[in-house]
Amino acid sequence: MRAAPEGLPRGLDRGRALATLTVMETDFLAWLLPRLPADPRLEVPAGDDAAVLRPAAQRRTVVTVDMLMEGVDFILGPDCPPQAVGHKALAVNLSDLAAMAARPEAAVVAVALPRRGGDALARGIQEGIAALAARHGVALAGGDTNAWDGPLVISVTALGSVPPGAAWRRDNARPGDLIAVTGACGGSLLGRHLAVEPRVREALWIAERTAAHAAIDVSDGLSLDLARMMAASGTAAVLDLDRVPIHADAVRMSRQPGDGRTPLDHALADGEDFELLLALPPEAARTLAAEAAAALGTPVTIIGEVVEGQGLFSSGPDGRAPLAARGYVHAFDS
């Protein structure tokens, strides 16, 4: 038998409270399980102690996990209903799979729900997850629910697959590669940080046409994530700042009173764009840049070059200048 949960109000009958929580979880699972579509990839579906996934033939399994916390990654309210939280929680994981050129296969979800209103939150979260999973062919394989006195926390583990040796990595950029990015960057906090569009379709389309030498998704900031890719590869990058695609949201944010940053500043450092950042052979990069917008509706823009050395640089009429890697970094108190 599981131990009684900690943190119950003083004076409350712990056995009765535990029974109440158990019934709530049982009711939620009774609502949830019939709504999870059957999927041939699941030999044992959700509802057992664990799911059993049939691996795709002649493919490698790719696993990623991401945790979102209320007050850090989202703030529940009129602009952020639980459906948006569910969507984002799965979407950021699918973005990681896209950065590896992996085809999404399955996902498991764990949530720590506030006791007050937790059932309604869970149902809304599931709606958001299910809608995105259906769009990308993701089997929902199960997960876990808990109730506590803290804020909403949700963790999704997503599984994908790639042919042997075909996964993109961030550590193989080579001098002479061109650097390209999908879409446009900056200003995500005006709403795109919730309505994440993982570039799964784009990644699979690109992978069919060329072998990217290195890739990463732009989660913490274009310049910061590019610096991470360069550090992993032991190379440097020179950016043509005039070619960085700037989202209209970045322009809007720069015009807000007291902002004090340019649209380019936002594009380089805001993060949560979840675009693909790629290091590609020059001919392949130019071909993708010429064809992607028409084929996918998503542009691919060449923004720089990989060179020998370390760090980031901008190019200009006076030559190269050091470029700071800026973006969002989780901080820990010592």
- The DSSP code sequence of 172-222 is ---TTPEEEEES-BS-GGGTTTTS----HHHHHHHHHH---SEEEE-SS-H
Question: Is the pLDDT confidence value at 23 over 80?
Answer: no
Residue where one domain finishes, among candidates 162, 195, 211: 162
Q: Say what the pLDDT of residue 37 is.
A: 86
For 198-224, the pLDDT digits (tens) are 999 999 999 999 989 999 999 999 999
Strands 153-162 and 103-114: antiparallel
Q: Read off the pLDDT of each residue in 121-129 and give the average, rounded to a whole number.
A: 97
Asked whether residue 94 is domain-assigned, the answer is yes
Asked whether residue 115 is domain-assigned, the answer is yes
Euclidean distance between CA atoms 215 and 270, whole angstroms: 19
Residue whose pair of structure tokens reads 């509706």 in the numeric block: 297
Question: Is the pLDDT confidence value at 5 over 80?
Answer: no
Q: Say what the pLDDT of residue 22 is.
A: 53
Euclidean distance between CA atoms 186 and 250, whole angstroms: 5
Is residue 67 located within the same domain as residue 194? no
pLDDT bin (cut points 50, 70, 90) of residue 186 is: very high
Amino acid in position 26: T
Indicate the range of 50-59, 227-236, 278-287 predicted with least confidence. 50-59
Indicate the range of 26-35, 122-131, 247-256, 279-288 predicted with least confidence. 26-35
Residue whose pair of structure tokens reads 């590609």 in the numeric block: 280
Cβ atoms within 10 Å of 29's Cβ, excluding its own: 14
Cβ atoms within 10 Å of 181's Cβ, excluding its own: 25
Burial class of 62 by CB neighbour count within 10 A (0 to 12, 13 to 18, 19+): buried
Asked whether residue 134 is domain-assigned, the answer is yes
3-class DSSP state for residue 23? helix
Euclidean distance between CA atoms 51 and 41, whole angstroms: 10
Strands 236-239 and 311-316: parallel
Asked whether residue 168 is domain-assigned, the answer is no
Q: Say what the pLDDT of residue 91 is.
A: 98
What's the CA dihedral at 191, 193, 198, 199 to 10 degrees?
80
The pair of structure tokens assigned to 224 is: 């910061």
Indicate the range of 173-177, 224-228, 249-253, 316-320 predicted with least confidence. 316-320
Q: Say what the pLDDT of residue 1 is.
A: 30
Is residue 189 located within the same domain as residue 106? no
Is residue 22 located within the same domain as residue 124? yes
Question: Is the pLDDT confidence value at 135 over 70?
Answer: yes
What's the chain's length in residues? 334
Q: What percent of the chain has pLDDT over 90?
A: 81
* DSSP assignment letter at 88: H
Burial class of 315 by CB neighbour count within 10 A (0 to 12, 13 to 18, 19+): middle
> Given its phi and psi angles, is residue 28 left (phi above 0), alpha (psi -120 to 50 degrees) or beta?
alpha
Residue where one domain finishes, among candidates 131, 162, 193: 162
For 56-73, the pLDDT digits (tens) are 899 999 999 999 999 999
Euclidean distance between CA atoms 261 and 263, whole angstroms: 7
Q: Read off the pLDDT of each residue in 316-332 and give the average, rounded to a whole number.
A: 88
Asked whether residue 146 is domain-assigned, the answer is yes
How many independent structural domains does the chain possess?
A: 2
Q: Say what the pLDDT of residue 323 is.
A: 97
Question: Is the pLDDT confidence value at 14 over 70?
Answer: no
Asked whether residue 169 is domain-assigned, the answer is no
* DSSP assignment letter at 160: E
Q: Read off the pLDDT of each residue in 82-93 and give the average, rounded to a whole number.
A: 98
Q: What is the CATH number of the domain that holds 132?
A: 3.30.1330.10
Euclidean distance between CA atoms 78 and 73, whole angstroms: 16
Is residue 249 located within the same domain as residue 150? no
Is residue 192 located within the same domain as residue 68? no
Q: Read off the pLDDT of each residue in 142-158 and give the average, rounded to a whole number.
A: 96
Closest listed residue to residue 288, CA positions, set 211, 232, 226, 231? 211
Euclidean distance between CA atoms 226 and 208, whole angstroms: 23
Q: What is the pTM of this model?
A: 0.89
Q: What is the CATH number of the domain that holds 197?
A: 3.90.650.10
For 91-100, the pLDDT digits (tens) are 999 999 999 9
Q: Say what the pLDDT of residue 256 is.
A: 97
Domain range enclosing 257: 178-322
Q: Read off the pLDDT of each residue in 232-258 and give the average, rounded to a whole number.
A: 98
Residue where one domain finishes, among candidates 111, 130, 162: 162
Q: Say what the pLDDT of residue 319 is.
A: 85
Mean pLDDT computed over every residue of the chain: 92
Q: Say what the pLDDT of residue 120 is.
A: 94
Euclidean distance between CA atoms 273 and 222, whole angstroms: 8
Is residue 190 located within the same domain as residue 134? no
